[in-house]
A = this chain, B = another copy of it.
Amino acid sequence: MLSVMLQMIRQQSETVPQCTLENMFVAVMDNIFLLVLVTLLSVIQNVFFALKVEKECTHSKNSAAFERLSCANRNCMDTYPTFLAVLWCAGICLSQAPAAFAGIIYLVVRQKYFVGYLGQTCQSTPGFLFGKRILFFLSLMCVVGIINHLMLTYGGSDYKEYIQTITKAASTLLLLP
């Protein structure tokens, strides 16, 4: 009898989840560090754009080129808060890996858009459309994440595993031109 009780106590202390606050922060970091990396990359890109505009402003005498560069920079900056908002919402609501992947593709597209603007104006349109597709994908991830959360709360069924697998597969479709 006593040995059974001792075993119960030991077993209990193993089954009780060791959810210290320290563990909690490690778990939080586990779920956002890719998003932080993408955010950092986007910040470096922003600084690169700003330096380009500043250099063109001080050195170049070509007013049209500066105008075009400044316009490209403003277009990128206008959509930047929107991009950050959906990136983080999608990453937190559903899964960080596909969100970070879509974010990196968005950064590549933005780079192509900015460089395309330096050449001719007509090159910029495809980049703008591509950006919209990625924002749509990230928004869809948010919506699916919220619907899954509501189903888990009110219906009791959790499809998060399946959805995350589907999302990871679907995110590769963003690579299509």
Contact = CB atoms under 8 A, between A and B. Distances in A.
B139 A43 contact: yes
Contacts of A23: 21
A122 interface: no
A134 interface: no
A20 interface: yes
A135 B153 CA distance: 31
Contacts of A89: 36, 39-40
Interface in A7-32: 8-9, 12-13, 16-21, 23-32
- The main secondary structure of chain A at its interface with chain B is helix
Contact of A27 (B16, B21, B139): B21
Interface of A: 1-2, 5-6, 8-9, 12-13, 16-21, 23-33, 36-37, 39-40, 42-44, 46-47, 50, 74, 77-82, 84-86, 89, 92-93, 132, 135, 139, 142-143, 145-146, 149-150, 152-153
A142 B136 CA distance: 28
A69 to B, nearest CB: 14
Nearest to A76: B78
Given A6-B5, A19-B20, A19-B21, A47 B132 contact: yes
A158 B32 CA distance: 18
Nearest to A17: B20
18 contacts: A2-B5, A5-B5, A9-B9, A12-B13, A19-B24, A24-B27, A26-B152, A39-B85, A39-B89, A40-B89, A43-B86, A43-B139, A46-B82, A47-B132, A50-B78, A50-B79, A80-B82, A81-B84
